[in-house]
């Protein structure tokens, strides 16, 4: 059983990195591809993230650091533009596994849930709205826009997940392994500086 979970994780990791799939879709598709039974246990996100890191180290070690740096720079730009909404970056851009196919996920903590939309309208930024599951399991609005990334020479999806300001305290709690699941602009800059030294 454990071998099957790791096999699914290895196949899913390739899909995440090379096809730009999110973790959930990659796990489901990988399970089908390896012929896992319908109710087979899927790898946890921590197992998949480890597999993604291993895949990147094997097949993309020469290109991924530059792509990650470009995406983090674009994330910092949007975090500065949206500073009034206390933006925190999460996902692959935060944890260091992003490639040129990755989107940027920013969680905004707003006093008024419509204020971020109004700010985008005022700045004439085109966006789409959808409802997604937030980090606490509740449904939240996600404002999705496209932003040019000069270093990559292409458009990157930026997803702004709108949370109530009161949820900020819970957002800062470390995950089970003690790692921070998201970070604000100073935290991202610190992480980038620490990784540059390492």
Q: Which domains does the chain have, with CATH numbers?
A: 2-59 (no CATH), 64-197 (3.30.460.10)
Dihedral of alpha carbons 116, 118, 120, 126, sign:
positive
The per-residue pLDDT for range 1-55, each reduced to its tens digit, is 579 999 999 999 999 999 999 999 999 999 999 999 988 999 999 999 999 999 9
Is 99 in contact with 153 (CB distance < 8 Å)? no
CA distances from 59 to 72, 92, 93, 99, 107 (A): 21, 17, 19, 12, 30
CA atoms within 13 A on the CB side of 8: 26
71 closest CA partner among 148, 163, 186, 171 = 148
Distance in angstroms (rounded) separating the CA atoms of residues 11 and 40: 15
Distance in angstroms (rounded) separating the CA atoms of residues 156 and 173: 28
Does residue 93 surpass a pLDDT of 80? yes
Average pLDDT over the chain, rounded to whole? 93
Distance in angstroms (rounded) separating the CA atoms of residues 62 and 28: 29
Q: What residues form DSSP beta bridges with 69?
A: none
Does residue 69 surpass a pLDDT of 90? yes
The per-residue pLDDT for range 111-142, each reduced to its tens digit, is 998 999 999 999 999 999 999 998 888 899 99
Structure tokens at 167: 């949820």
Question: What is the average per-residue pLDDT within 90-104?
Answer: 95
Dihedral of alpha carbons 116, 192, 45, 168, sign:
negative
pLDDT at 1: 53
Pairing type for strands 128-133 and 139-149 reads: antiparallel
CA 11 to centroid of chain Cα atoms: 19
User: Comparing 175 with 197, which gets the higher pLDDT?
Assistant: 197
pLDDT at 136: 82
């Amino acid at each position: 059983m454990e071998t099957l979970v790791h096999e699914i994780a290895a196949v899913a990791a390739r899909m995440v990195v090379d096809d730009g799939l999110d973790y959930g879709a990659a796990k489901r598709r990988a399970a089908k591809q390896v012929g896992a039974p319908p109710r087979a246990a899927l790898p946890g996100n921590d197992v998949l993230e480890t597999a993604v890191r291993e895949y990147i180290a094997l097949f993309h070690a020469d290109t991924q650091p530059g792509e990650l740096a470009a995406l983090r720079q674009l994330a910092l730009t949007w975090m500065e533009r949206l500073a009034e909404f206390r933006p925190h970056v999460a996902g692959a851009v935060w944890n260091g596994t992003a490639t040129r196919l990755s989107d940027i996920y920013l969680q905004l903590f707003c006093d008024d849930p419509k204020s971020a939309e109004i700010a985008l309208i005022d700045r004439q930024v085109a966006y789409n709205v959808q409802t997604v599951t937030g980090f606490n399991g509740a449904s939240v609005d996600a404002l999705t826009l496209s932003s040019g990334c000069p270093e990559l020479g292409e458009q990157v999806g930026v997803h702004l997940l709108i949370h109530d300001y009161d949820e900020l305290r819970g957002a800062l709690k470390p995950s089970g392994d003690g790692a921070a699941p998201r970070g604000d602009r100073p935290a991202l800059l610190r992480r980038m500086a620490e990784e540059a030294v390492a």
